[in-house]
């Protein structure tokens, strides 16, 4: 069912819709080196195959999973000979480009730069991290999006009706509800939905009239479990980012949803717990100091009891942190202080703050003028504690959120307007 032309190609209208630059360059056989970046089943390899059928260039495909440096050097040599003797360009298509290490990618670089080969690389991983910068700078990056449910539905309809390349000759039938379930499970992946559809049709016995009625149970058996993300890939980072930002944005429903996605994908629960601890200190801070205690307790509890019960602990901590008042004042304070430490003089600690542990130190004035706070009303005595060069510098700027509002009032009472 792989599309044979742009009319059969589903999705990616922003790249290959009528009048789009990439489509026009392919149709004109003026193809630049490019990296096709997108999720599985979004049409990267199909797009490369369309290029192969429409170009006058020699098309040389390899898979980074099964090929190595020797294969690349052979292809480059053949491309150089072909260009010199026949004047024909070579398009080198590398599927799973991210699986080539940096040294392997370096083999291609000079030949892309010289024009010996035109590179088309396909990857599911972020090229910024997985493709050498020099190679990336000589290529256009085109981002493919997951297919929509409507586009996946069209693909399923076509496969069910096509007698030549699809499953139409087996007379499959599927009601709208069952199809909607199949489409939803596919997660925008055309390859997944076609594989599941084929298995479901072949696993269904025909009725007396030859019709195969595909049931929701058969679809469930064929698909088993949706693959949510690769724990070492972009989805790992995207999902944890969404999780953290949902809690920071005080949205417990979104936070719980992304937590569930990570748990179902088999994410390390202690990784999630560590992120909770960081968020409690960074984004809640003094607005609710108990948040850090809750997060650390959750980390310890998950370590103690493991999964699947640990999901309950993570859920409780997630809801608490998402609904807690927010303040990053402590985080900003330490950042500002570190900046001053790095850019200003390392002046001596004021003498009244130093301990006079020897007679010489006492003679030098160590500890002189120090006011012991507990000897004063309210347990407070104002002193200049920063070096003279930083006198009056303020690092901690409390908000009026949650418990921190009380801290702000207390500091105002002690130090006046800060």
What is the pLDDT at residue 220? 81
Boundary of a domain, candidates 89, 121, 143: 143
What is the pLDDT at residue 182? 87
Q: Is residue 296 part of a domain?
A: yes
What is the pLDDT at residue 57? 87
What is the pLDDT at residue 275? 94
Rounded CA-CA distance 202/222 in Å is 10
**Shared domain check, 85 and 49:** yes
Whether pTM exceeds 0.85: no
Rounded CA-CA distance 148/142 in Å is 18
What is the pLDDT at residue 279? 96
What is the pLDDT at residue 1? 87
Give the range of the structural domain holding residue 247, as residue numbers without chain letter. 234-323
**Shared domain check, 244 and 209:** no
Rounded CA-CA distance 29/395 in Å is 60
Rounded CA-CA distance 373/356 in Å is 18
Q: Check residue 285 and give left, alpha or beta (phi > 0: left; psi -120 to 50: alpha).
A: left
Q: 214-228 burial string, b = 16+ CB within 10 Å, else e?
A: bebebbbebbeeeeb
Low-confidence ranges of the chain (pLDDT < 50): 228
What is the pLDDT at residue 54? 86
**Shared domain check, 258 and 177:** no
**Shared domain check, 107 and 32:** yes
Q: Is residue 330 part of a domain?
A: no
Q: Is residue 119 part of a domain?
A: yes
**Shared domain check, 83 and 51:** yes
What is the pLDDT at residue 224? 67
**Shared domain check, 126 and 169:** no
What is the pLDDT at residue 162? 92
Counting the structural domains of the chain, the total is 4
What is the pLDDT at residue 232? 57
**Shared domain check, 121 and 21:** yes
**Shared domain check, 183 and 99:** no
């Amino acid at each position: 069912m792989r599309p044979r032309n742009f009319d059969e190609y589903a999705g990616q209208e922003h790249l290959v819709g009528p009048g789009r630059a990439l489509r026009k360059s392919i149709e004109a056989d003026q193809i630049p080196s490019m990296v096709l970046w997108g999720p599985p089943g979004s049409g990267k390899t199909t797009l490369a195959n369309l290029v192969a059928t429409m170009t006058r260039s020699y098309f040389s495909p390899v898979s980074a999973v099964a090929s190595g440096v020797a294969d690349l050097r052979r292809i480059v040599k053949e491309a150089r000979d072909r260009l010199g003797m026949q004047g024909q360009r070579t398009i080198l298509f590398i599927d799973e480009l991210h699986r080539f290490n940096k040294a392997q990618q370096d083999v291609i670089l000079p030949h892309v730069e010289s024009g010996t080969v035109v590179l088309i690389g396909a990857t599911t991983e972020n090229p910024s991290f997985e493709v050498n910068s020099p190679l990336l700078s000589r290529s256009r990056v085109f981002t493919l999006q997951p297919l929509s449910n409507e586009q996946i539905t069209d693909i399923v309809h076509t496969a069910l009706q096509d007698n030549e390349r699809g499953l139409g000759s087996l007379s499959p039938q599927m009601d709208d509800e069952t199809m909607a379930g199949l489409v939803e499970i596919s997660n925008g992946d055309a390859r997944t939905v076609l594989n599941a559809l084929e298995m479901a049709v072949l696993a269904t016995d025909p009725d007396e009239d030859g019709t195969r009625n595909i049931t929701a149970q058969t679809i469930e058996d064929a698909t088993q479990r949706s693959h949510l993300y690769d724990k070492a890939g972009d989805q790992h980072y995207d999902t944890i980012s969404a999780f953290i930002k949902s809690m920071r944005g005080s949205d417990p429903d979104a936070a719980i949803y992304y937590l569930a996605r990570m748990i179902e994908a088999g994410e390390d629960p202690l990784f999630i717990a560590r992120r909770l601890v960081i968020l409690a200190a960074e984004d809640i801070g003094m607005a609710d100091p108990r948040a850090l205690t809750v997060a650390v307790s959750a980390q310890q509890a998950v370590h103690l009891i493991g999964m699947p019960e640990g999901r309950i602990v993570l859920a409780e901590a997630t809801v608490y942190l998402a609904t807690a008042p927010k303040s990053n004042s402590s985080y900003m304070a330490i950042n500002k202080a570190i900046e001053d430490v790095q850019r200003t003089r390392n002046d001596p600690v004021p003498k009244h703050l130093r301990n006079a542990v020897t007679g010489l130190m006492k003679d030098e004035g160590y500890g002189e003028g120090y006011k012991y706070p507990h000897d004063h009303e309210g347990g407070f005595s104002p002193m200049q504690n920063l070096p003279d060069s930083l006198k009056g510098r303020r690092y901690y700027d409390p908000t009026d959120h949650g418990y921190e509002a009380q801290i702000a009032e207390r500091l105002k009472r002690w130090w006046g307007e800060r």
